[in-house]
């Protein structure tokens, strides 16, 4: 997060991705681990209760934990020390028993991601609602299709919005599928859960169930497909938002003037301007999301049973990817919600040259309205999927 993150990231999402949220998620993992072991009989229920009681985020200084984590390379080591101090004897050793730092931090990353994805999913729903409305209302509004930024053949603004709609629906399906597959991580020192003896699988099952995360087939400490799947869903979603935002910015150019944002942003020096600010912010967020997802994809390659640097690079990249993707979809949703459509301008901007293909084929197309092909049928197909 940068000093101006409030411009790009909504407060709700900022809170879900804050250091305090990560701390709460790590403590939730520690609490679930103790409860799972008590359920399986690996540790005494009284000791487990002491661990659970100590997993109150208000008891810990997250800034101090981060500073103390420099020597160990992660925040879990100082957290475990602080947690055991809170518990005290004779039950301190029950905390973090059989786990390793990556178990707690990977699981926390899935919990944080799940909360952030709820925001992303909701914003995608708002985008889909607006696009569906625009597609239906403007299915007959003629506009020039533009390929390589040049006028091509006629289409309708409804067909353009239908394309946006399908992109949003695709992204929402990807986000929901990913959110439903986020796994817990528990492998112990090197992925064998040896500290639990023959009860490792049972502890893992109880641990994942308690956190309402998927139970993985094997520990994924260096098989980073869950992170790659998450990065893919985020990159796709940010790209969909960025595509819509890019179109809005281009359609809002003074020389085109086919759309405008209802709350267009002011300029500090030019009072005549009404900038498509929300779409511009979405475009900026998409760039950050794409870059951070690239780091997550690169981190898939890990050494043996613990990555040397790749895993550590994920934490910041994941937080930024979630924040930037959420910012992109929220800004795009806001842009669409107040979008003003100038249908007359759209029709007036259509050049006669857009009918050149029809005439070369010998078709009787006297007006752009005569050469729309299956545009309306595609609008209906997109709306049918939206309504399903």
Catalytic positions? 267, 306
Q: Residue 89 in 3-state DSSP?
A: coil
* Cα–Cα distances in angstroms (integers) from residue 95 to residues 26, 27, 274, 296, 384, in the given order: 12, 10, 57, 30, 53
If residue 245 lies in a helix (H) or strand (E), which one and from where to where? helix 225-251
DSSP letters, 292-340, are HHHHHHHTT---TTS-SSHHHHHHHHHHHHHHHHHHHHHHHHHHHHTEE
* Nearest residue to 141 (alpha-carbon basis) of 347, 375, 2, 357: 347
**Largest Cα–Cα separation, the chain:** 90
Residue owning tokens 């998450």: 230
The answer to whether the peptide bond before residue 90 is cis (omega within 30 degrees of 0) is yes
129 touches 339 (CB < 8 A) = no
Sign of CA dihedral 63, 78, 71, 219: negative
Cα Rg of the chain (Å, integer): 26
* Dist. CA 116–CA 114, nearest whole Å: 5
Sign of CA dihedral 183, 188, 191, 192: negative
* Dist. CA 167–CA 7, nearest whole Å: 25
Residue 341 has phi, psi (to 5 degrees) of: -110, 125
């Amino acid at each position: 997060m940068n000093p101006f993150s409030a411009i790009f990231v909504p407060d709700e999402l900022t809170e879900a991705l804050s250091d305090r949220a990560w701390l709460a998620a790590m403590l939730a993992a520690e609490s679930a681990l103790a409860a799972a072991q008590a359920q399986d009989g690996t540790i005494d229920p009284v000791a487990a209760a002491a661990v659970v009681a100590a997993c109150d985020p208000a008891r810990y200084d997250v800034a101090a934990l981060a500073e103390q984590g420099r020597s160990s390379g992660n925040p879990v080591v100082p957290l475990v020390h602080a947690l055991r101090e809170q518990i005290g004897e004779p039950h301190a050793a029950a905390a973090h028993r059989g786990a390793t730092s990556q178990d707690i931090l990977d699981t926390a990353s899935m919990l944080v991601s799940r909360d952030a994805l709820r925001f992303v999913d909701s914003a995608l729903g708002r985008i889909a609602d607006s696009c569906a409305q625009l597609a239906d209302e403007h299915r007959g509004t003629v506009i020039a299709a533009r390929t390589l930024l040049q006028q091509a053949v006629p289409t309708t603004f409804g067909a353009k919005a239908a394309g946006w709609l399908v992109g949003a629906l695709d992204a929402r399906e990807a986000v929901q599928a990913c959110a439903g597959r986020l796994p817990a991580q528990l492998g112990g020192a090197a992925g064998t859960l040896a500290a639990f003896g023959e009860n490792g699988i049972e502890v893992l099952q109880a641990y994942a169930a308690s956190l309402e995360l998927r139970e993985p087939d094997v520990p994924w400490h260096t098989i980073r497909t869950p992170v790659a799947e998450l990065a893919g869903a985020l990159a796709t979603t940010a790209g969909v938002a960025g595509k819509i935002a890019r179109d809005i910015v281009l359609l809002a150019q003074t020389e085109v003037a086919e759309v405008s944002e209802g709350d267009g942003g002011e300029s500090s020096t030019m009072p005549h301007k009404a900038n498509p600010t929300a779409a511009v912010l979405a475009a900026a967020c998409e760039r950050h999301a794409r870059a951070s997802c690239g780091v997550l994809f690169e981190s898939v390659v890990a050494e043996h049973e613990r990555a040397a640097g790749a895993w550590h690079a994920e934490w910041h990249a994941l937080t930024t990817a979630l924040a930037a993707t959420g910012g992109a979809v929220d800004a795009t949703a806001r842009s669409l919600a107040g979008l003003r459509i100038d249908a007359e301008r759209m029709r007036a901007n259509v050049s006669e040259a857009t009918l050149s293909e029809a005439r070369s084929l010998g078709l009787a197309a006297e007006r752009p309205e005569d050469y729309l092909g299956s545009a309306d049928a595609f609008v209906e197909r997109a709306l049918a999927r939206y309504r399903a």
